[in-house]
Every structure is written in C-alpha cells, then in structure tokens.
C-alpha cells in the first residue's frame, strides 16, 4: 500500500511543478538543488546518516538512508559540499525499492520520465541506456538511466538499478538531480 501511495504522490509532486523553468524548481520531498541540508535536518541527524564510500577525494559528503520526513519515497540520499558550513545540496535522489521486480521499476521509471518531460519541455533528453554497475565485479548488475540535461550542465536523472542476487541489494528506482560540479567530481572519483 505504501508503494502505491508513494507512486501516486510522486505523480502529484511532479505535476505540481509543471512547466518549471530550471532544475532549481524541481523538488524531491520539498528539497531543491542548492538548498541547505540544515534547513531540513539537524546537524546530529546528518552526522548519523553520513556515509563513507571510500572515495579518495572527500570534496562531497554522502548522507544516505534518510527516512525522516520522507513521504513519497522509501528513502532519500544527498551529497553536500564538504567545505560548505550550510551543507549546500549538490545532488539528491529519492529511492523507491522494488525487491526483485525490475519490471515494476521500469514501469515507474517510464511514468516519471513522462511527467518530468512535461515539466522540462526544453531540457535536452538523453537515454543513457543500460550500463553495467561497477560495484558488481560479476558484471550482472546494471542500471538503466534517462537524463534531462540543462544548459548549465545540471541534470535530472531517472534510473532503475537491477542488482544480481549475489549483490543482495534490492532493485530500485532513483529519481534525482545533479549539479554540474558534483557530476565532475563523481566522474573523477569513479574513473579511478
């Protein structure tokens, strides 16, 4: 039931932002790119949810598994700039779990794409396609991503993750946004 309500709420959230002018008009759980994470969560809560994914470059800090005040998604994840006292958000994803059900994920992915396309009719649209996930050394886990790219290099992404049984992760949908500085950093840390 929560999943159905979440999907309906996702549609409502996306339709409320219809015809947004730029990525900063896009919200996930009421949060936008460039907002201060401290406007939504306490320093203590953020610290408790901060993760270390082993990146050699620590310019951006990951905060994941956020459930507090999350209604549309199962959890959200955020990256903020390390040198930002206000913890300014450079990337945020809403995550919906689809335990062993990639077909349901793909169906919801297409619905999200269709709704976001209405919001951002002038954004460049790019079907990134299916990519083998680097975390699974067997090559059996993939992600299938679609992007709405803006003139400043920021983008909204809609991605289904299809994890192999060996990885013990659940298939899931991620709807999120990425600042161009974060994309550059992520490309650098994942290429090494």
* pLDDT tens string 116-135: 999 999 999 999 999 888 88
Task: Give the predicted TM-score (pTM) of the model.
Answer: 0.83
d(CA 126, CA 156): 10
| Three state DSSP letters for 14-68 | HHHCCCCCCHHHCCECCECCCCEHHHCCCHHHHHHHECCCCCCCCCEEEEEEECC
Read off the tokens for 159.
Answer: 């991605």
* Start-end of H helices in 82-160: 102-119
Read off the tokens for 80.
Answer: 């903020």
Does the structure show a pLDDT above 60 at 15? no
Distance in Å from the first CA to the final CA of the chain:
42
Q: Average pLDDT of 81-98?
A: 95
**Structural domain of residue 79, as residue ranges?**
2-191
d(CA 158, CA 93): 9
- Cβ 50 vs Cβ 63: under 8 Å: yes
Domain count, the chain: 1
pLDDT digits (tens, 9 = 90+) for 38-65: 999 999 999 999 999 888 899 999 999 9
d(CA 135, CA 149): 25
Residue closest to 52 by CA, chosen among 61, 39, 65, 41: 61
């Amino acid at each position: 039931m929560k999943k159905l309500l979440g999907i309906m709420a996702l549609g409502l959230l996306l339709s409320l932002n219809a015809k947004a002018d730029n990525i900063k008009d896009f919200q996930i759980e009421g949060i936008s790119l460039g907002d201060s994470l401290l406007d939504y969560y306490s320093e203590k809560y953020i610290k408790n949810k901060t993760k270390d994914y082993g990146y050699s470059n620590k310019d951006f800090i990951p905060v994941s598994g956020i459930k507090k005040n999350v209604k549309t998604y199962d959890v959200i994840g955020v990256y903020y700039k390390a040198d930002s006292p206000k913890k300014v958000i450079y990337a945020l994803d809403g995550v919906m779990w689809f335990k062993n059900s990639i077909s349901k994920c793909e169906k919801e992915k297409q619905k999200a794409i269709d709704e976001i396309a209405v919001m951002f009719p002038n954004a460049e649209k790019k079907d990134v396609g299916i990519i083998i996930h680097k975390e699974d050394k067997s090559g059996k886990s993939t992600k299938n991503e679609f992007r709405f790219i803006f003139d400043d290099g920021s983008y909204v992404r809609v991605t289904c993750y299809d994890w192999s049984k060996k990885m013990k992760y659940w298939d899931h949908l991620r709807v999120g946004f990425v600042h161009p500085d974060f994309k550059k950093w992520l490309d650098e840390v994942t290429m090494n």
